[in-house]
């Protein structure tokens, strides 16, 4: 059972992102669904995660696979029904597993009744719920661009003689967050899921809700991808957003134990840090995506984490993630010939032992791959529009590899995206039985986290180590148990590295077994060696 009085559960939790189309298909239509997730509840417990973030499963024409919502209070039949969600939530809660859902309210689907009404006439009461500009000629009102269509973000609406704004696909018209009725309608939808018992929200492009009141054109920027030569200062990331974050926070807090994590629309963590609010009266957390853009380098990862800790307001809580449904999987990003698995162990240890809430992406625990797909298999509107220059996001959304049976045990029917070719040897069932597998590395780390408070609440101090090694100490002081120091050493290279260690007991390691004692002094780290030591 979950503890509804525990308002800080999200600081201790390890989150696991489920992309529902690709997790488990329960009714043989080739698309994953809510019942499929429920069938796998044991799995989350075996692995040892504490909370799920499920990408959108709401009613949607699926032009952006659920990130285009046409009813904020219903489940799409592809994924099941509201009852299925309720049943999943109840069963998850009985096991102590929390569920966070996706709140996609920068835009709706163009098939949402609100937009259908809004576009019908300038005098419709919903008209002002979206963003419009009069259409006086062929030239769009400013230079804002539609990311997924690689063209102007303004689309004509014949009935009103206006343009509407859509910065993702044309089927995702953007809301006018300056309209109080729109805000109230969204807050109402928010309460709907909280009333059902959802444990919080991941807020889609949360920093994009407000646009410049004067609709000024963005200035030119040399940054090519994905900004298409623009510095996005007017079409997103406007200061008005903070008032809305406070509103959301007040709603969430009125339920006692719910959590909001925002997706920020910008590459610099400065923006993510600002979402917490100076007095931490904004979002509980905002995704730090910096690791997604870092090359494989101990120095760069340390710099990134250090900067994130410095940027966050003093009482804010950090978070880290390496993969999600929008970026190539990190196993693939960091693969290096035969070292791919070794690097994945280093990366997992970093993610799960730094100070902050980790977010895992389904399949990373078995090192799922992310090879480019042939054009005929592409489904993602971004991939379809930009192929072959970019390959879109389908490769990171392929079906979960459960076992070596047909379609990797994901579905008896032909899956909506192809299953990775390596599934016969790379799958959950095979890895679970192999004590040396990546799956067991994750499961061991997750168990370790739970047994060592220092890994969750302990302070973090960086250790001086040779280049290409990243190392830190986590310290927890408890009145009853005294001080606990836990040291983490990660060799990011294929070379031998000399470090100095205190006397201690190995808690987890790639070369040294847990439980082994080590002596104080110099010690050689092998290629990609991971060593987690309890000092003393
Ligand atoms: C960010 C989501 O993560 C992405 O998948 C989606 O396409 C856009 N927002 C638009 O909602
Ligand atoms: Ca299905």
In the numeric block, the tokens 């370790």 are attached to 448
Please identify which residue in the block is written with the tokens 């109230």: 184
Contacts of residue 91, Cβ cutoff 8 Å, sequence gap at least 6:
38, 41
Handedness of CA 475, 478, 479, 480 (dihedral sign): negative
CA distance 164 to 156: 6
Gap between the Cα atoms of 354 and 235, Å rounded: 34
Structure tokens at 122: 């300038």
Predicted local distance difference test score (pLDDT) of residue 226: 55
C-beta of 168 in contact with ligand 1 (< 6 A): yes
Cα of 66 vs centre of ligand 1, distance in Å, is: 9
pLDDT at residue 427 is higher than 60: yes
Is the shortest distance between the CB of 209 and ligand 1 below 6 Å? no
In the reported structure, the alpha carbon of residue 228 is separated from the centroid of ligand 1 by a whole-number distance in angstroms of 17
Tell me which ligand sits closest to the C-alpha of residue 78. 2
Angle 233-239-240 (CA atoms, 0-180°, nearest 5)? 120
The widest CA-to-CA distance across the chain, in whole angstroms, is 78
Cβ count near 516 (within 10 Å): 12
Q: Which two three-digit tokens encode residue 232?
A: 């996005």
Q: How many CB atoms lie within 10 A of CB 90?
A: 12
Q: Which tokens in the block code for residue 327?
A: 């970026």
Q: How far is CA 66 from CA 21, 76, 104, 285, 426, in A?
A: 9, 9, 9, 23, 28
Q: Which ligand is nearest to the CA of 173?
A: 1
List the residue whose alpha carbon is closest to atom 11 of ligand 1.
67
Is residue 195 pLDDT above 60, yes or no?
Answer: yes
CB 128 within 8 A of CB 179: yes
C-alpha torsion angle, residues 348, 349, 354, 358 (rounded to 10): 30
pLDDT in tens, 76-109: 999 999 999 999 999 999 999 999 999 999 999 9
Compute the distance from residue 256 Cα to the ligand 1 centre, in Å: 28
Task: Categorise residue 490: left if φ over 0, alpha if ψ from -120 to 50, beta otherwise.
Answer: beta
Question: What homologous superfamily does CATH list for 9-108+178-370?
Answer: Glycosidases (3.20.20.80)
Residue 528 φ/ψ region, left for φ over 0, alpha for ψ in the -120 to 50 degree band, beta for the rest? left
**pLDDT tens per residue, range 58-75:** 999 999 999 999 999 999
189 C-beta neighbours (distance < 10 Å), count: 17
Angle between helices 180-196 and 82-94 (to 10 degrees): 50
- Residue 442: what pLDDT? 98
Q: Judge if the beta carbon of residue 69 lies within 6 A of ligand 1.
A: no
Tell me if 104 CB under 6 Å of ligand 1.
yes
Q: Pick the ligand that lies closest to the CA of residue 169.
A: 1
Mutate to test the pocket of ligand 1, among 109, 168, 292 (most ligand atoms within 8 A of CB): 168
Please state, rounded to an integer, the average pLDDT across all residues of the chain: 96
Distance CA 28, CA 51 (A): 26
Angle of helix 438-451 relative to helix 340-353, nearest 10 degrees? 20
Cβ-based neighbour number of residue 139 at 10 Å: 10
| CA gap 252, 244 in Å, rounded | 12
Residues labelled catalytic: 204, 263
Q: DSSP states of 476-518 as a string?
A: EEETTTEEEEEEEEEE-SSS-EEEEE-SEEEEEESSS-TT-EE
The CB of 147 under 6 Å from ligand 1? The reply is no
Indicate which ligand has the atom closest to the C-alpha of 289. Answer: 1
First to last CA, the chain: 36
- Residue 36 and residue 79: Cα distance in Å, rounded? 9
- 500-512 pLDDT, tens per residue? 999 999 999 999 9
Mean pLDDT of 389-397: 91
Going by pLDDT thresholds of 50, 70 and 90, the confidence category of residue 466 is very high
Please give the number of the atom of ligand 1 that sits closest to the Cα of 148: 7
Predicted TM-score (pTM) of this structure:
0.98
How far is residue 106's CA from residue 421's CA, in Å, rounded to a whole number?
36
16 and 202 in contact (C-beta within 8 Å)? no
Q: How confident is the model at residue 224 (pLDDT cuts 50, 70, 90)?
A: low
Q: What is the pLDDT of residue 267?
A: 81
CATH superfamily of 113-165: Oligo-1,6-glucosidase; Domain 2 (3.90.400.10)
Quick check: CB of 287 below 6 Å from ligand 1?
Answer: no
Q: Do the first three CATH levels of 113-165 and 452-535 match, i.e. the same topology? A: no
Model pLDDT, residue 390:
78
pLDDT digits (tens, 9 = 90+) for 16-49: 999 999 999 999 999 999 999 999 999 999 999 9
Nearest CA, atom 6, ligand 1: 67
Q: Which ligand is nearest to the CA of 29?
A: 2
3-state secondary structure at position 407: helix
326 Cβ closer than 6 Å to some ligand 1 atom: yes
pLDDT, tens digit (0-9, with 9 covering 90-100), for 351-380: 999 999 999 999 999 999 999 999 999 999
Ligand 1 centre to CA of 168 (Å) is 8
Q: Is the CB of 487 under 6 A from ligand 1?
A: no
Q: Quickly state the pLDDT bin for 405 (edges 50, 70, 90).
A: very high
Q: Which residue has the tokens 């919502």?
A: 69
Q: In this structure, which residue's CA is closest to atom 10 in ligand 1? A: 67
User: What's the 532 CA to ligand 1 centre distance in angstroms?
Assistant: 36
Assess whether the C-beta atom of 65 lies below 6 angstroms from ligand 1: no
User: How is domain 452-535 classified at the CATH fold level?
Assistant: Immunoglobulin-like (2.60.40)
Residue 107: strand pairing partners: 174
What is the layout of strands, in order, in the sheet containing 357-361? 285-286, 259-262, 200-203, 98-103, 51-54, 15-18, 357-361, 319-321
Domain extent listing, the chain: 9-108+178-370, 113-165, 452-535
pLDDT in tens, 488-502: 999 999 999 999 999
Mean pLDDT of 392-417: 98
Residues with CB under 5 A from ligand 2 (ion): 25, 27, 29, 31, 33
CA 22 – ligand 2 centroid, Å = 9
Phi-psi region of 215 (alpha: psi -120 to 50; beta: other; left: phi over 0): left
Percent of the chain past pLDDT 70, that is, above it, reads 99
Atom of ligand 1 nearest to the CA of 106: 11
CA distance 264 to 349: 25
Q: Is 429 helix (H, G, I), strand (E, B) or coil?
A: helix
pLDDT, position 5: 95
Phi, psi of 478 (to 5 degrees): -125, 135
Of all protein residues, the one whose alpha carbon is nearest to atom 5 of ligand 1 is: 326
Query: Alpha-carbon distance 126 to 411, whole Å?
Result: 42
Task: Choose one of 292, 326, 380, 394 to mutate for the ligand 1 pocket test, by most ligand atoms within 8 angstroms of C-beta.
Answer: 326
Cβ of 361: how many Cβ atoms within 10 Å?
Answer: 23
Q: From the alpha carbon of 324, which atom of ligand 1 is closest?
A: 3
**Residue 62 is encoded by which pair of tokens?**
């699926």
Residue 223 reports pLDDT greater than 80: no
28 CA distance to ligand 1 middle (Å)? 27
Asked if the model's pLDDT at residue 227 lies above 90, the reply is: no
Check pocket membership of 204 for ligand 1, CB cut-off 6 A.
yes
Q: Give distance in angstroms: CA of 64 to centre of ligand 1.
A: 8
Q: Using one digit for the tens of pLDDT, what is the confidence trace for 138-192?
A: 999 999 999 898 899 999 999 999 999 999 999 999 999 999 999 999 999 999 9
Q: How far is the CA of 460 from the centre of ligand 2 (A)?
A: 44
Closest residue to atom 2 of ligand 1, CA basis: 204
Q: Mean pLDDT throughout 404-412? A: 98
In 21-60, beta strands by DSSP E? 51-54, 58-59
The per-residue pLDDT for 197 is 98
| Mean pLDDT confidence for 403-428 | 98
């Amino acid at each position: 059972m979950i503890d509804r009085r525990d308002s800080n559960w999200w600081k201790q939790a390890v989150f696991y992102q489920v992309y529902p189309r690709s997790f488990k298909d329960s009714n043989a239509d080739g698309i994953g669904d809510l019942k499929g997730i429920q069938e796998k509840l044991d799995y989350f417990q075996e692995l040892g995660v504490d909370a799920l973030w499920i990408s959108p499963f709401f009613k949607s024409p699926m032009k952006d696979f659920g990130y285009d919502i046409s009813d904020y209070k219903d489940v799409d039949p592809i994924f099941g029904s509201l009852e299925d969600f309720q049943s999943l939530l109840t069963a998850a809660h009985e096991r102590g597993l929390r569920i966070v859902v996706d709140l996609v309210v920068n835009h709706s689907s163009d098939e949402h009744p609100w937009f259908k009404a809004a576009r019908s006439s300038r005098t419709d009461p919903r008209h002002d719920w979206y963003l419009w500009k009069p259409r006086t000629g062929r030239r769009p009102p400013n230079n804002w661009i539609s990311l997924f269509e690689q063209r102007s973000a303004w689309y004509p609406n014949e009935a009103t003689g206006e343009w509407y704004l859509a910065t993702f696909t044309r089927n995702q018209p953007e809301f006018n967050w300056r309209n109080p009725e729109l805000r109230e309608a969204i807050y109402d939808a928010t309460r709907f899921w909280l009333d059902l018992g959802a444990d919080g929200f991941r807020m889609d492009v949360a920093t994009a809700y407000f646009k410049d009141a004067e609709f000024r054109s963005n200035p030119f920027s040399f940054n090519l991808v994905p900004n298409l030569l623009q510095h996005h200062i007017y079409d997103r990331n406007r200061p008005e957003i903070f008032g809305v974050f406070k509103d959301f926070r007040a709603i969430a807090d009125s339920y006692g134990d719910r959590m909001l994590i925002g997706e920020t629309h910008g590459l610099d963590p400065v923006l993510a840090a600002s979402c917490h609010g100076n007095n931490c009266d904004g979002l509980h957390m905002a995704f730090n995506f910096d690791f997604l853009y870092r090359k494989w380098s101990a120095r760069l990862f340390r710099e990134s984490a250090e900067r994130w800790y410095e940027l966050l307001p003093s009482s804010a809580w950090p978070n880290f993630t390496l993969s999600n449904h929008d970026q190539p999987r990190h196993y693939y990003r960091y693969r290096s010939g035969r070292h791919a698995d070794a690097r994945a162990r280093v990366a997992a240890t970093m993610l799960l032992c730094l100070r902050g809430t980790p977010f895992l992406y389904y399949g990373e625990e078995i090192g799922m791959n992310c090879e480019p797909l042939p054009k005929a298999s592409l489904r993602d509107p971004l991939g379809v529009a930009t192929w072959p220059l970019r390959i879109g996001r389908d490769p990171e959304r392929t079906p979960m590899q459960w076992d070596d049976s047909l379609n990797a045990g994901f579905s008896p029917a032909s899956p909506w995206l192809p299953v990775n070719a390596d599934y016969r040897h790379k799958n959950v069932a095979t890895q679970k039985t192999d004590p040396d597998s990546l799956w067991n590395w994750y499961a061991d780390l997750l168990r370790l986290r739970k047994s060592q408070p220092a890994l969750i609440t302990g302070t973090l101090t960086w250790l001086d180590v040779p280049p290409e090694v990243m190392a830190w100490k986590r310290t927890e002081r408890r009145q009853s148990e005294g001080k606990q120091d836990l040291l983490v050493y990660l060799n990011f290279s294929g070379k031998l590295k000399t470090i100095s260690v205190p006397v201690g007991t190995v808690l987890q390691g790639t070369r040294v077994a847990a439980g082994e004692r080590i002596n104080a002094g110099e010690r050689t780290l092998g290629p990609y060696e991971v060593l987690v030591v309890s000092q003393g």
